[in-house]
Every structure is written in C-alpha cells, then in structure tokens.
Chains A and B, each alone.
Chain A
C-alpha cells in the first residue's frame, strides 16, 4: 500500500486532513481542488505528492490567456502553412503538427502521473467548464487525426486556486475540495524543523513569537505566511542574529529585525510603524 498512499514527505508537513484529501483523491481518481492563503504550500503539495509516490509530475501553469484546449493539444497551423510554402515533405502528415499538451502527456504516462493544474482561477471564466469531460472521463478526441486519447493510468489531478474567480458548479461537483488552513503553532514548528533541521530552539521560538504576533496585527493588507516565515528564518540564520536580539524586540515597540521578508507592502510597514509609535508613547506615559 505504501506506494499508493500519501503520508507527507521529508520536506513537506501534511496535516491529517490534507493526507486524507490526497488519499481520497488517489483512491477514487477524482481531481483534488486545493485552496488556501497564498504561501501555504498549495503548489508544493503536488510536487511532494509526486515525489512521495514516485510518479512523474506534469505541471500546467494557467495564465489569463490560457485556453483549455492548450492542455490537450495544439495544432500548429502556422508551421504547416510555412512548410507547405517551402514544399516540405512533412506537410502531408498532419500528425507532425500536433503538439501534445500537459493533459495528453499525463494521460500517456505508463505509470500513474500527477498532473498539477496551477492557479486555475487565473484563466477565463469558461476554462474549467471546457475541461469537464476530459477530467471526468480522462479521454479526449484529436479531431485533426481522428484519434482518441484515453489515459493509460488515470493521473492524480491536483488543481490549485487562489479564489480570484468563482469556479462553475458543474466543475466543483467533480472535484474533491480541500482548504489548506493556516498552520497552527505546532504545525508551524514542524514545518520549520523540516526546512531548517537543528535550528536553535530558542531562536525558533523567539521567531515564531514575533511571527504570530505580527499576524495578529489588525489591518495588515498582506499577512505574512509560511513561505515568508521560512524566508525570514533563512535571513536570520544568514545574518547570524542571536535569539536574544529577537526576544528583546517586542514587536509592539520596535520593528522586527529584517522585517522586509515578512511585510511586503509599504502600507503595512507604515501602519506597523505608526502602531509602534503609538505603543511607545503609551509606554512612556505609563
């Protein structure tokens, strides 16, 4: 069973509900839709699942101009036209001009593949609807060559969304849905441990203190997330800042060291500075 169940990997901490979500999607071969705050590791999940299952990963990054058909295949009419003008022999076989898309590549794989459709909400509103049949049946037709492509092994489809667009109901019905919750303190500790093993305990707890305090500050436009915390820790380690220096910085009275990694918006930094200023004044009055 070990090859067909996902239990997290050496460098990815998955919570119980997330593991269950991946395993349910694996067992029932249904697409898994993942949402969550930016920086909680949505995209990374697919990479780690692929690594854990030892499966090839096909990543399809979606942009605002991506169309569903591009995931299946593209007919390169322009090359063919050019070749026809030049009298190239290849021109007689239309199959020479069919470019395989990510879905096709995943379907073709002899081994069960992992297909990541990244940030599906970036695409046009009709995009998910255009993929309904393909994801449901795991097959599609190539009209140009009158060929039917069906998946040799139904791939595990992981779809991420940042919620920029509402996804159509018919599409949602076919997916399992999981929302990655922002990790609590314990999980966060485990995550950091995985990324920076042997990090000094006191530095970590001092850093987490600052980090969670910072997330509590009301009115921040972009709350720092897991990936920001990891970046920040990397900086702290590189600068070799002693934990005492962090602990001394009560985030209510002074900007945390190297805060640029945590606060990414000048309005947030500004707001934070104002709060600090107010707190200091209050403290002085007391």
Chain B
C-alpha cells in the first residue's frame, strides 16, 4: 500500500526510507487517526517527513498523488449501500431518535428522502452551495441525525478543507533551495563551530583526575580543564557598492547572522575586488583604510576566510595594475587575492549571483579559478557546501 506515493515522495527529494513506510502502516493499523483524507494527510506527514523544509515538497506530491483518489471517493460516495447506511445509523442513533424517525414515516421513507437529497446535493454542490442539514430544515438535521457518524457530507466537506490544507502550501518558505533568512544562515554557520578548551581551568577533568589519583597512590589529585568554547575564527570580506546593491539584503542577513554566531569575527569591506586597502566603516571608507598587508600580518593563519561578492566586473580589475575603477592600484587584484590565499588555507568565496550565470561572466570564472574552484552560491545549500569546504583539513 502507498508504495506509489512513497516512491513519488522519494523521487521528489523527500528523504523517506522503509522504516517510515512501515511506521505509517503500523500507525494506520493502530487506528491512530480518523478515516478522513485530512487525517490521513496529517498522519502521513507526521510519520514520513522529518524536517519542515520538506513539508512543501510533501504537500505537492500529496496533492498530485491523491487528487485522483479524492475524485474517486466523490464518485463512490454517491453509491453508498443502503444496508450499510441503515446499520450505521442504527448504531449511532439513540432510542429516542429512532422513535422520532418512526414518527416521520419510518426508515424507508427517510432513506428515500436522503437519497434524493444526496442526488440533489451532487448537482447543487458544484455550484458551491452548502450541505443539507446545515439549515436545519431537513429531517436529518432537525432530528439529530448525525452526519459526522455516517460520514456523508461531513466527509465531503472535510475533503474540501483538507485539499486546501496542502494546496495552501504554507511551508513554501521553509524549503531550503529557495531563500536565505537570518535564521537559516545562522543554522548554516553554526556548522562551522569547533569546540576547544581555552582560557581559565574551571571544569573538573574527571578522566585526568582518576588517572592522576591512581598514579598518586590513591590520594586525590584534582585536575581541572577550561570549559569548551566555540573557537572558530573568521575573517569576513564583503563587497559593497556598485553591482552589489542588488544583494544588499542577503549580505546584511549573512553579516548579522555571522556576527551573532562567531566570537572571533573580523569583517572588512572592499569594492569589487581585493586590493591593497580595505575598510571597516563604509562612511569613512576613504579616510580610514586598513592596509591589506596589516590584515595579513595581524591575523594568524588559523583564521578562516570568507569572501562575499558577486565578482562581476571588468576582467581588468582583477588582472591588471591600475585596473580598479576607484583608485590607482599598484598591483593587480589577483596578486592580493593570491597573497591572502597563501596565508589562509581555509577560504571560500560566496557569490550572491545565481549559479547559472557564473560561466557566462569572465570575471567570475577568473575569480573562481583564483579561489581554486572554492566559490559557492549564497543560498542555504551553497553556504552549507562552503562551510563543509572550510571544515576540511588541508595540509
């Protein structure tokens, strides 16, 4: 059962496995939920999907797969056997209700009316009108006939509501291939955490204490270690102005996330490409320039380097001295980038431009080559790849 649905989910990139499929059957077997399609939707989502990022994909597959089924149910429901209806109703109705039904002309008449109403309903239903019984004029509604128990009508309206649930696609924003938000970026950056023990020794080191005590012939010898901290250090270089104006928001988000996440974060701005000077305050970019050489000397090689820029410019700005649009540069930008990379082995370039454009822009290709292919798109997925790259050990 549900194998087609399961395979479709898998094909749509929702990570499902056999365990989940079996769990779904187990849950259905245990009658965890009701039998409406909406209940089934919630149940299968609960069991099969493990991350809200996949909710949207799940919704789409569900809609596609069960669209036919819902329609089929609608067809079937016109043909509910009378026997079943009657038995079900007998089960649900109290003695009093039954008496009332008798007074209305007995079962057969009631069933006939119901059937007629159902037929009418199907016709009217397409016009979008409400169900019988809601107005309180039909014998069914007036005498406590429980449409929920019989699951006609109620079922139908549930379908309609349920269809909306997955057709609303409320979880679209949570899909990770779409967009970055501060929170998403933080999540991605957090992967760069590396815990290390530094600073004042405040925590008891149990293993070492036991070991030393044993060596100390059983006399207690307490050993302390410093607490664990996130020890990752990051240098962030952000391209500002010009073509980057389109990407201000995403860069701002990245920046604020990074600031919250890393204790050791140093950030600098540059324009288009890295040259001999960078700055920390955009308003005073001309008066308070920091020589790139100082940055190189000041921060040790264990810092990780992240460039953020669209790398979209004239190729001369990278390769030729005097090529910068803003000032006269004595040395080409490529030289400065290579100097940086020689010191800091862990480096990536995050590019907010869509990846499909990269090959078409010469300066992006050049930058990418200079970075040794370590350029990643500025999306959650790209950021994750980039962080993975930063975490790699390099000789």
Interface segment among B5-13, B23-31, B69-77, B132-140: the answer is: B23-31
A85 touches B220 (CB 8 A): yes
In the complex, A169 has a CB within 8 A of chain B: yes
A175 touches B50 (CB 8 A): yes
Number of B interface residues at 8 Å Cβ cutoff, please give it.
44
A27 to B46, CA, bound (A): 14
In the complex, B215 has a CB within 8 A of chain A: no
In the complex, B276 has a CB within 8 A of chain A: no
Of all chain A residues, the one with the shortest Cβ separation from B256 is: A221
In the complex, A77 has a CB within 8 A of chain B: yes
In the complex, B331 has a CB within 8 A of chain A: no
Q: A78-B204, A221-B182, A221-B256 are contacts. A24–B50 as well, Cβ < 8 Å? A: no
**Complex interface: chain B residues within 8 A of A169 (CB):** 15, 50
Interface segment among A15-23, A107-115, A234-242: the answer is: A15-23
In the complex, A35 has a CB within 8 A of chain B: yes
A26 to B51, CA, bound (A): 20
Q: A78-B209, A175-B50, A177-B50 are contacts. A16–B27 as well, Cβ < 8 Å? A: no
In the complex, B49 has a CB within 8 A of chain A: yes
A23 to B30, CA, bound (A): 11
Most chain A CB neighbours (cut-off 10 Å) among B19, B52, B213, B227: B52
Of all chain A residues, the one with the shortest Cβ separation from B52 is: A179
A173 touches B19 (CB 8 A): yes
Indicate with 1 or 0, residue by residue over B145-188, a CB within 8 angstroms of chain A CB atoms: 00000000000000000000000001100100000001100110
B52 touches A35 (CB 8 A): yes
Q: A65-B228, A173-B17, A173-B19 are contacts. A178–B46 as well, Cβ < 8 Å? A: yes
A176 touches B220 (CB 8 A): no
**Complex interface: chain A residues within 8 A of B46 (CB):** 17, 20-21, 24, 176-178
Q: A24-B32, A177-B49 are contacts. A65–B219 as well, Cβ < 8 Å? A: no
In the complex, A81 has a CB within 8 A of chain B: yes
**Complex interface: chain A residues within 8 A of B45 (CB):** 17
Shortest B19–chain A CB gap in Å is 5
Indicate with 1 or 0, residue by residue over B208-237, a CB within 8 angstroms of chain A CB atoms: 011001000011100000011000000000
A33 touches B209 (CB 8 A): no
8 Å CB contact of A78 from B27, B39, B206: B206
A24 touches B47 (CB 8 A): yes
A220 to B213, CA, bound (A): 55
Shortest A221–chain B CB gap in Å is 6
Shortest A224–chain B CB gap in Å is 15
A64 to B55, CA, bound (A): 28
**Complex interface: chain B residues within 8 A of A178 (CB):** 46
A172 touches B50 (CB 8 A): yes
Q: A28-B30, A81-B220 are contacts. A179–B55 as well, Cβ < 8 Å? A: yes
B30 touches A27 (CB 8 A): yes
A27 to B50, CA, bound (A): 19
Q: How large is the interface on A (under 10, 10 to 19, 20 to 34, 35 or more residues)?
A: 35 or more
Indicate with 1 or 0, residue by residue over A249-275, a CB within 8 angstroms of chain B CB atoms: 000000000000000000000000000
Shortest A217–chain B CB gap in Å is 14
A170-185 interface with B by 8 A CB criterion: 172-179, 181
A8-55 interface with B by 8 A CB criterion: 16-17, 20-21, 23-24, 27-28, 30, 33, 35
A181 touches B170 (CB 8 A): yes
In the complex, A165 has a CB within 8 A of chain B: yes
In the complex, B107 has a CB within 8 A of chain A: no
8 Å CB contact of A85 from B17, B42, B204, B219: B219
In the complex, B113 has a CB within 8 A of chain A: no
**Complex interface: chain B residues within 8 A of A77 (CB):** 206, 209-210
8 Å CB contact of B51 from A27, A64, A172, A221: A172
**Complex interface: chain A residues within 8 A of B52 (CB):** 35, 179
In the complex, B43 has a CB within 8 A of chain A: yes
Q: A78-B206, A164-B190 are contacts. A177–B39 as well, Cβ < 8 Å? A: no
A181 to B30, CA, bound (A): 26
**Complex interface: chain A residues within 8 A of B183 (CB):** 163
In the complex, A96 has a CB within 8 A of chain B: no
10 A-B pairs with the lowest CB-CB distances in the bound complex, closest first: A172-B50, A179-B52, A17-B42, A24-B32, A177-B50, A173-B19, A27-B30, A20-B42, A27-B32, A21-B46
Q: Can you list 15 residue pairs at the A/B interface with Cβ under 8 Å?
A: A17-B42, A20-B33, A24-B43, A27-B27, A28-B23, A28-B32, A78-B209, A81-B210, A84-B218, A85-B218, A165-B187, A165-B190, A174-B19, A176-B23, A177-B46
Binding site for B on A (CB under 8 A): 16-17, 20-21, 23-24, 27-28, 30, 33, 35, 64-65, 77-78, 81-82, 84-85, 124, 163-166, 169, 172-179, 181, 219, 221
Instruction: Give me 19 other A-B pairs in contact (C-beta within 8 A), A164-B187, A165-B190 excluded.
Output: A17-B45, A24-B32, A27-B27, A27-B32, A28-B30, A77-B206, A78-B209, A81-B209, A81-B213, A163-B187, A165-B187, A165-B191, A169-B50, A173-B20, A176-B47, A177-B49, A177-B51, A178-B46, A179-B174
